[in-house]
C-alpha cells in the first residue's frame, strides 16, 4: 500500500492527488505485469493505493512500486521524486491492519468519523467497475467493512456522530451567535452535502439554501425541503449569506474574492476596498451602501472550493480543511485503545486465514490423491463381487480419518510460516508435487512487516 494523508503530506499535495489520483488504478495495473489488482481510496485528506503484487519469493517489489508511482505522477502532475518522498509504503500483514484502522475512522482527522467507511466501500465499487480488483483485494476490503461495523457497534468511538463536518461547525460556533437566525448557503449536492445539511439542522439552522455548480440544486433542494439557488443568483446569495459551506467535487474554485465583491455590489453591500492580485479596486464609496457584516466561509472541498484570496475581502473569514485539521480534538483514549485492539485482532485473523489459504492448493492436491486411491479401492472391491454398502462406507470413513491430521497440520504449518515443510512432506511421502510461489512470499512479507 502507498499512502499519503494529513499525517504525512501537505494539503497542497493531497489536493493534487485528489484531482487525478482516483483514476490511476487501471494505469497502475497496466504498467507492471506483476500487479494483478489495485484499489484507490481517495478522500479529502487521504490518498491510498492498495496493490496486489503477484511475485515469487526473492523478487524485489520496488519495480512494481515505482511503476505505481509513475502512474500516479502521470495522472496528477506531481513529480515522481515528490511522490517517493511523500508516500508511505506498507506491505504484508501491516496493510490489513492499516486499512481496517482507516475504515474504522482511527486514522481520520476526527477520530471515529463515520464518512470514511462509505468512502472505502465506494473505492472498492469503483475498482470493480474499472476491472482492477483481485480476489485478495476483494477479501481485504470486505473484511475491512466488517471490522468497521464491529468497531462501531462494540466501542464508544464515534458514538456522538462526530465527523469533519460537525467539527467544522463546532469551530464556527464562536462566529455564529444564533444558528436559527443565520442565513446559510450550502454549495454542493454530493456525499458531504447531506451530512452538512443534517449537521446544520442539528445546530438549529433553518434558513438554508443550496447551489450546485453541476446544476443539481433543484433536485437536492426538493428532496431535502430547502430552497435552490440558480446560477444567476449565486453571487448575490454568497454576499447575503452569514455562513457559506462548500463541499463540491469541482476541480475549480467556485467562490473567489471577485465573486463575493460582485455579489455585494449586486445586493448593495459595501465591501470597502480590496487589493486583488492585479491591483487595488474599490467597488463603491464607503457611504454608498451598508458596511459588510462578518461572514464565515467553511470550505470542506478537496480540491479547494474556495480561493485563498477571499480572506482579503473585508468581513470574510475562511475555515478550510487545513485549519480544521489543526483544531482536531484529541482521541478519546479508552474508546480508541479498545477499537485498535479490535482492529489488531481482526488483522491477525485476516492474515492467519491468508496463510492457511496459501496451502489450499496443496491440501486440494492431497485430497484429490487420496480420493482417487479410495475410488480405485471401491472399484476393485466391486470387481471382486464386494459391492456392499458397508465396504464403501468403511473406505470413505477411513479416507476422512487419514486426511484429518494432514489438514490440521496444513493450518498449523501455514500459520507458522512453514509451508515448505508441508510441500516437502507431500512430495516425499506421496510423490505429490505442488508449486506455491506465493506461500514463501507470504511468509517473507509477514516477517518483514513484523520487523
Alpha-carbon gap, residue 69 to 58, rounded angstroms:
22
Q: For residue 294, what are the CA distances in angstroms to 87, 164, 197, 314, 331?
A: 40, 23, 22, 8, 32
Secondary structure in 3-state letters for 198-240: HHHHHCCCCEEEEECCCCCHHHHHHHHCCEECCHHHHHHHHHH
Contact at 8 Å (CB) between 24 and 35?
A: no
Enter the C-alpha cell of residue 144: 475491512
**Residues belonging to the chain:** 451
44 is catalytic: yes
Q: Give start and end residues of each alpha helix (H) in 234-332.
A: 234-240, 257-267, 321-326
Catalytic residue among 13, 25, 42, 44: 44
Phi-psi region of 385 (alpha: psi -120 to 50; beta: other; left: phi over 0): left
Phi, psi angle pair for 221, to nearest 5°: -60, -40
Contact at 8 Å (CB) between 293 and 315?
A: yes
Alpha-carbon gap, residue 138 to 141, rounded angstroms:
5
Q: For residue 160, what are the CA distances in angstroms to 107, 109, 151?
A: 17, 15, 14
**Which residues are the active-site residues?**
44
Amino acid at each position: 500500500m502507498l499512502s499519503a494523508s494529513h499525517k504525512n503530506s501537505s494539503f497542497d499535495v493531497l489536493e493534487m492527488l485528489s484531482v487525478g489520483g482516483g483514476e490511476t488504478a487501471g494505469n497502475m495495473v497496466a504498467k507492471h505485469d506483476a500487479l494483478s489488482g489495485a484499489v484507490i481510496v481517495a478522500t479529502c485528506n487521504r490518498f491510498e493505493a492498495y496493490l496486489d503484487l503477484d511475485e515469487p519469493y526473492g523478487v524485489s517489489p520496488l519495480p512494481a512500486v515505482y511503476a505505481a508511482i509513475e502512474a500516479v505522477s502521470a495522472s496528477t502532475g506531481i513529480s515522481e521524486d515528490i511522490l517517493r518522498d511523500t508516500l508511505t509504503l506498507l506491505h504484508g500483514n501491516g496493510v490489513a491492519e492499516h486499512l481496517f484502522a482507516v475504515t474504522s475512522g482511527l486514522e481520520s482527522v476526527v477520530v471515529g468519523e463515520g464518512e470514511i467507511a462509505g468512502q472505502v466501500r465506494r473505492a472498492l465499487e469503483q475498482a470493480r467497475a474499472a476491472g482492477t480488483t483481485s480476489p485478495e483485494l476483494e477479501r481485504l476490503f470486505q473484511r475491512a467493512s466488517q471490522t468497521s461495523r464491529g468497531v462501531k457497534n462494540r466501542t464508544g468511538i464515534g458514538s456522538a456522530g462526530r465527523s469533519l463536518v460537525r467539527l467544522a461547525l463546532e469551530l464556527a460556533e464562536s462566529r455564529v451567535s444564533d444558528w436559527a437566525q443565520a442565513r446559510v448557503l450550502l454549495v454542493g449536492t454530493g456525499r458531504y452535502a447531506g451530512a452538512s445539511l443534517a449537521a446544520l439542522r442539528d445546530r438549529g439552522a433553518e434558513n438554508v439554501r443550496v447551489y450546485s455548480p453541476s446544476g443539481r440544486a433543484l433536485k437536492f433542494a426538493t428532496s431535502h425541503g430547502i430552497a435552490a439557488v440558480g446560477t444567476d443568483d449565486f453571487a448575490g446569495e454568497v454576499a447575503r449569506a452569514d455562513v457559506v459551506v462548500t463541499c463540491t467535487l469541482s476541480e475549480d474554485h467556485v467562490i473567489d474574492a471577485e465573486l463575493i465583491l460582485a455579489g455585494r455590489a449586486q445586493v448593495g453591500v459595501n465591501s470597502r476596498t480590496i487589493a486583488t492580485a492585479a491591483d487595488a479596486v474599490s467597488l463603491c464609496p464607503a457611504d454608498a451602501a451598508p458596511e459588510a457584516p462578518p461572514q464565515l466561509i467553511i470550505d470542506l472541498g478537496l480540491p479547494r472550493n474556495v480561493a485563498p484570496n477571499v480572506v482579503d475581502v473585508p468581513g470574510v473569514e475562511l475555515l478550510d480543511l487545513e485549519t480544521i485539521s489543526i483544531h482536531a480534538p484529541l482521541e478519546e483514549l479508552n474508546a480508541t485503545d479498545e477499537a485498535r485492539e479490535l482492529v489488531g485482532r481482526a488483522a491477525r485473523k485476516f492474515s492467519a486465514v491468508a496463510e492457511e489459504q496459501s496451502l489450499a492448493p496443496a491440501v486440494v492436491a492431497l485430497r484429490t490423491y487420496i480420493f482417487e486411491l479410495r475410488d480405485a479401492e471401491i472399484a476393485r472391491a466391486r470387481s471382486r463381487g464386494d459391492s456392499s454398502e458397508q465396504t464403501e462406507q468403511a473406505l470413505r470413513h477411513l479416507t476422512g480419518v487419514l486426511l484429518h491430521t494432514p489438514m490440521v497440520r496444513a493450518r498449523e504449518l501455514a500459520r507458522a510460516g512453514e509451508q515448505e515443510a508441508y510441500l516437502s512432506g507431500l512430495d516425499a511421502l506421496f510423490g505429490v508435487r505442488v508449486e506455491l510461489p506465493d506461500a514463501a512470499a507470504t511468509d517473507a512479507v509477514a516477517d518483514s512487516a513484523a520487523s
